[in-house]
Amino acid sequence: MQCLAGIRLDADFGYFNLLKIRCFVLEEVFKEVIKEFNKEITDKKDPSQINPLVLAYIGDAVYELYIRALLVSRSNAHVHKLHVDSIKFVKAKAQSDILHRIMGNLTEEEQDIVRRGRNAKSGTIPKNADVTEYKYATGFESLIGYLYLTHAYDRLVEVLKMAVSEDAAQS
């Protein structure tokens, strides 16, 4: 049998290896699809001048997709279990804790993006987090959105890996 990536599979290949290949293929397809969208935005606007809440809006989607793909690649759990597990990473308190933990590893420019996101006036009252956690979570999502829109994919992956490191699971 052959999968989309052109890799030959035998019967002993295993479900999780196949799932990892599918995640890789999905990542490649996602990159290709998003290139045009990303080009449209960055051709018209300098990402450093985009409203930090818009950066957070994009960052929220990128982070959520990363977490979902990560959880699916780790197990063959039911959707409800995947959802419950993803909440542990994407809720405002978790993002706030992550940001506090990785802040020392961010460049000055990245810290400025976080600060802009944290200080942005959203007009939204958080339902399940206190205001301070919510602001830090917005700063974290702004950073993810900024790295994504500036095509800093290697750095984005570094930050995402820091976010889900074993230390983050203890937060």
**How do residues 61-100 score in pLDDT, each as one tens digit?**
999 988 988 888 877 888 899 889 998 999 999 999 999 9
Identify the CA nearest to 70 among candidates 92, 90, 94. 90
Phi, psi values for residue 111, rounded to 5°: -65, -35
Question: Active-site residue 60, yes or no?
Answer: yes
* Annotated active-site residue in 10, 12, 43, 60: 60
State yes or no: pLDDT of 2 exceeds 50.
no
Do the Cβ atoms of 96 and 107 come closer than 8 Å?
no
DSSP string, 82-109: HHHHHHHHHSHHHHHHHHHHHGGGS-HH
SS3 8: strand
Extract the tokens encoding 63: 């982070």
pTM: 0.75
Q: Quick one: CATH architecture of 46-169? A: Orthogonal Bundle (1.10)
CA distance linking residue 144 with residue 156, whole number of Å: 7
Taking only Cα atoms into account, the Rg of the chain, rounded to an integer number of angstroms, comes to 17
Which residue matches tokens 């995640």? 23
pLDDT of residue 8: 47
